[in-house]
């Protein structure tokens, strides 16, 4: 894949710096031991699932490994083709921002059910030049005509959730192309055309279908069959794609070529936008389809008025480190930070595994109670970010946690605007509303020390199910992240729809600094389980001493202020479940929670990239040079 560098010099030319005295508590010994052996078995290059469907010869796919260590930069994503695109950009002189956008565009080809041109996301960037964290909120927005009744029927009752998902009604104004453009214009060293070229070629030449892609297609088969453009692209001749075959998307290649030639205005002010609007307002449904497919009200004005937001990140101190995340409209940064602040007073490294999980679950439960009450789009809601991030507020909530006893959900929220001296639980409780569990995340570092953590999405697996005819990408169903109605009418819900409003997100791209320099970056897909995945990975690595790839691979629990806690099979089938049930926890099994990726800066200056060993068939971690 060709990649022609711009004539201009890289914007970020900061040399690698030796880190100051380490204050962190994560295990250097564990990381060193892992690097010395690297005995983890990589998932097969063509398998992201356990089923054994029909196979056929396909395109060459880079080898897949969940961990890589080396120099010159690193990329970690769910897909080896996408990670390879990012590595190629780094090898040819691009910086972390260039590589992140190129990787994201490639994921739009190989992970079209998770992200793409029709979606949005959150971009967190560490600049080695100014040693600061910067963020872009590229979340989708509701039409300007939307109000709190967006998902209510004529009788004032919420419509069925599925009718909101598979519809034009749930489609928000896409923010992903604007995010790419903003990131490249502000911090990149390459043009949009240059970083889209590898993904355009990948879409044209194709990638190898694996078991996960086939399974995700099967999960959406009935929906896709009802939309001719989706059926033609993903179900050729009415059949599922064969594992090992080559999947091409010439329409998406054409869309990338159009964006490269005309810029993102072709979406927000031009012909691509007109096609999106037409599809949303009159979804092209198969004549014999029986499902209810509601139209949306997206207009030219909605597209023309879309803007990304540059805003300050969230920050909290934890174990002597600085943990940065995404501020609202995402709830990820505030909720992860509050949970960490709640756990700060407990030495998790000395607890038994049962007691560690108990504390982690209860901190998650409390933080989600506060998230539900206080976090929404700050352009519409008075979000007390400073209070949610304060240690004083966390201390007033941490005292609710008792050894040997379990809180009853839904836990009432506290008031971060005026935390009391005692335990704070004076609010009215409300359950957490549902949020879809798909998305994708990528993490990138370069030779100058710049780092990107970028989470992007079209919401559900397969988004709305509606492909824009002739354009090769699915539209999001992001507006279903709004509350359809207040979970508790007695409690103000900051996440009701509004004109131009961003729905609350759980995306949690996270960068951890030690003395102003990055030591860790990570994130995950998974809807509201993103928050708990990032939290559990952070505490597993920083407190429990697990190497990053093992912290990512560890079996997960996810508590989101619900009556039951989700457990993956590794914990469900463990004696730990019975030990936790003995003190009052209740569980339900979830086959898979999240799919994290991360990068870590090692003491000797090398980068370690880590991804999943099993979930979604295993991720893809790569470095520019394995040796110096």
What pLDDT does residue 13 have?
36
Q: Tell me the C-alpha distance between 125 and 183, whole Å.
A: 9
The pTM of the full predicted model, rounded to 2 decimals, is 0.91
Q: Is 562 a member of any domain?
A: no
Angle between helices 96-110 and 80-91 (to 10 degrees): 150
In tens, the pLDDT along 273-297 reads 999 999 999 999 999 999 999 999 9
Identify whether residues 344 and 218 lie together within a single domain.
no
Residues belonging to the active site: 439
What pLDDT does residue 627 have?
87
Identify whether residues 425 and 354 lie together within a single domain.
yes
**399, 434, 469 - which closes a domain:** 434
Average pLDDT of the chain to the nearest whole number:
91
Identify whether residues 329 and 426 lie together within a single domain.
yes
Tokens of 482: 């709004």
Identify whether residues 422 and 455 lie together within a single domain.
no
Q: Is 604 a member of any domain?
A: no
Identify whether residues 231 and 125 lie together within a single domain.
yes
Identify whether residues 138 and 175 lie together within a single domain.
yes
Q: Is 620 a member of any domain?
A: no
Q: Is 25 a member of any domain?
A: no
Residue closest to 600 by CA, chosen among 91, 70, 128: 70
What pLDDT does residue 357 have?
99
Query: Residue 548 pLDDT > 60, yes or no?
Result: yes
HSE-CB for 490 with a 13 A CA cutoff: 7
Query: Residue 41 pLDDT > 70, yes or no?
Result: no
Identify whether residues 375 and 462 lie together within a single domain.
no
Please, are residues 477 and 463 in contact by the beta-carbon 8 Å criterion?
yes
Identify whether residues 255 and 332 lie together within a single domain.
no
Q: Is 109 a member of any domain?
A: yes
Query: Residue 239 pLDDT > 90, yes or no?
Result: yes
What pLDDT does residue 56 have?
53
Q: Tell me the C-alpha distance between 77 and 74, whole Å.
A: 10
Specify the number of domains making up the chain. Answer: 2
Q: Tell me the C-alpha distance between 538 and 532, whole Å.
A: 10
Q: Tell me the C-alpha distance between 351 and 544, whole Å.
A: 9
Identify whether residues 341 and 466 lie together within a single domain.
no
In tens, the pLDDT along 65-102 reads 999 999 999 999 999 999 999 999 999 999 999 999 99
Range of the domain at 364: 311-434
10 Å CB burial of residue 192 (0-12, 13-18, 19+) is buried
Give the helix/strand (H/E) hosting 393: helix 391-398
Q: How confident is the model at residue 435 (pLDDT cuts 50, 70, 90)?
A: low
Identify whether residues 337 and 278 lie together within a single domain.
no
- Residue 535's φ and ψ, nearest 5 degrees, are -65, -45
- Residue 425's φ and ψ, nearest 5 degrees, are -150, 45
Kindly write down the DSSP assignment for every residue of 307-339, as one continuous string.
--EEEPPEEEEETTEEEEEPPTTBSHHHHHHHH
Per DSSP, 451 falls in state E
Number of helical (H) and strand (E) elements in the chain, helices listed first: 21, 18
Mean pLDDT over residues 302-327, rounded? 98
Q: Tell me the C-alpha distance between 437 and 593, whole Å.
A: 8
Q: Is 594 a member of any domain?
A: no
Identify whether residues 441 and 293 lie together within a single domain.
yes
Query: Residue 301 pLDDT > 80, yes or no?
Result: yes
HSE-CB for 481 with a 13 A CA cutoff: 37
Mean pLDDT over residues 111-127, rounded? 98
- Residue 133's φ and ψ, nearest 5 degrees, are -95, 130
Q: Is 9 a member of any domain?
A: no
What pLDDT does residue 489 have?
86
Mean pLDDT over residues 374-398, rounded? 97
Q: Is 167 a member of any domain?
A: yes
Identify whether residues 258 and 362 lie together within a single domain.
no
What pLDDT does residue 53 have?
58
In tens, the pLDDT along 193-237 reads 999 999 999 999 999 999 999 999 999 999 999 999 999 999 999
Contact residues for 615 (Cβ-Cβ < 8 A; gap 6+): 592, 593, 594, 595
Please, are residues 143 and 296 in contact by the beta-carbon 8 Å criterion?
yes
CATH of the domain at 391: 1.10.246.130
Tell how far CA 398 is from the center of its chain. Answer: 27
What pLDDT does residue 37 have?
41
Tokens of 10: 């890289």
């Amino acid at each position: 894949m060709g990649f022609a560098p711009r004539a201009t010099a890289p914007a970020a030319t900061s040399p690698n710096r030796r880190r100051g005295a380490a204050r962190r508590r994560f295990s250097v010994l564990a990381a060193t031991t892992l690097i010395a052996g690297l005995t983890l078995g990589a998932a097969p290059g063509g398998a992201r699932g356990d089923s054994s469907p029909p196979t056929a010869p396909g395109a060459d796919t880079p080898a897949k490994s969940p961990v890589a260590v080396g120099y010159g930069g690193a990329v970690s994503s769910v897909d080896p083709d996408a990670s390879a695109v990012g590595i190629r950009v780094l090898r040819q002189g691009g910086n972390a921002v260039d590589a992140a956008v190129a990787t994201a565009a490639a994921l739009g080809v190989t992970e079209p059910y998770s992200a793409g041109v029709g979606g949005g996301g959150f971009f967190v960037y560490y600049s080695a030049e100014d040693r600061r964290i910067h963020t872009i909120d590229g979340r989708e927005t509701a039409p300007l005509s939307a109000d709190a009744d967006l998902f209510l029927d004529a009788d004032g009752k919420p419509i069925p959730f599925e009718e909101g998902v598979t519809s034009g009604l749930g489609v928000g104004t896409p923010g992903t192309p604007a995010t790419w453009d903003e990131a490249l214009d502000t911090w990149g060293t390459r043009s949009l055309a240059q970083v889209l070229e590898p993904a355009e070629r990948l879409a044209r030449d194709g990638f190898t279908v694996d078991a996960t892609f086939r399974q995700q297609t099967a999960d959406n088969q009935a929906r896709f069959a009802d939309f001719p453009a989706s059926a033609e692209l993903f179900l050729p001749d009415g059949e599922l794609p064969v594992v090992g075959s080559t999947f091409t998307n010439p329409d998406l290649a054409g869309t990338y070529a159009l964006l490269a030639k005309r810029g993102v205005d072709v979406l927000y002010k031009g012909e691509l936008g007109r096609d999106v609007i037409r599809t949303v307002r009159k979804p092209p449904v198969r004549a014999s389809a029986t499902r209810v497919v509601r139209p949306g009200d997206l207009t030219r004005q909605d597209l023309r008025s879309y803007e990304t937001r540059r805003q300050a990140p969230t920050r909290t101190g934890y174990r002597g480190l600085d943990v940065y995340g995404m501020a609202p409209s995402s709830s990820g940064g505030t909720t992860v930070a509050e949970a960490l602040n709640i756990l700060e007073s407990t030495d998790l490294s000395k607890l038994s595994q049962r007691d560690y999980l108990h504390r982690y679950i209860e901190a998650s439960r409390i933080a989600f109670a506060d998230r539900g009450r206080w976090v929404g789009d700050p352009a519409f809601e008075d979000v007390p970010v400073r209070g949610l991030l304060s240690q004083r507020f966390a201390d007033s909530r941490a005292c609710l946690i008792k050894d040997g006893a379990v809180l009853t959900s839904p836990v009432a929220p506290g008031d971060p605007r005026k935390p009391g001296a005692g335990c704070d639980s004076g609010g009215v409780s409300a359950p957490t509303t549902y949020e879809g569990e798909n998305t994708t995340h990528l993490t990138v570092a370069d030779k100058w020390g710049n780092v990107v953590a970028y989470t992007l999405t079209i919401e559900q697996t397969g988004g709305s199910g509606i492909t824009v005819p002739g354009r090769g990408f699915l539209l999001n169903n992001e507006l279903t992240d709004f509350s359809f109605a207040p979970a508790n009418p007695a409690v103000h819900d900051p996440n009701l729809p509004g004109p131009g409003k961003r729905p609350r997100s759980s995306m949690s791209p996270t960068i951890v600094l030690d003395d102003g320099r990055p030591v860790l970056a990570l994130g995950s897909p998974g809807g509201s389980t993103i928050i708990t995945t990032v939290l559990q990975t952070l505490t597993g690595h920083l407190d429990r001493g697990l190497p990053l790839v093992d912290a990512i691979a560890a079996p997960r629990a996810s508590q989101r202020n619900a009556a039951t806690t989700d457990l993956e099979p590794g914990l469900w089938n463990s004696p730990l479940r019975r030990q936790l049930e003995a003190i009052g926890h209740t569980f339900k099994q979830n086959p898979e929670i999240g799919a994290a990726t991360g990068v870590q800066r090692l003491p000797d200056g090398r980068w370690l990239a880590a991804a999943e060993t099993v979930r979604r068939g295993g991720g893809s971690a790569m470095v520019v040079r394995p040796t110096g």
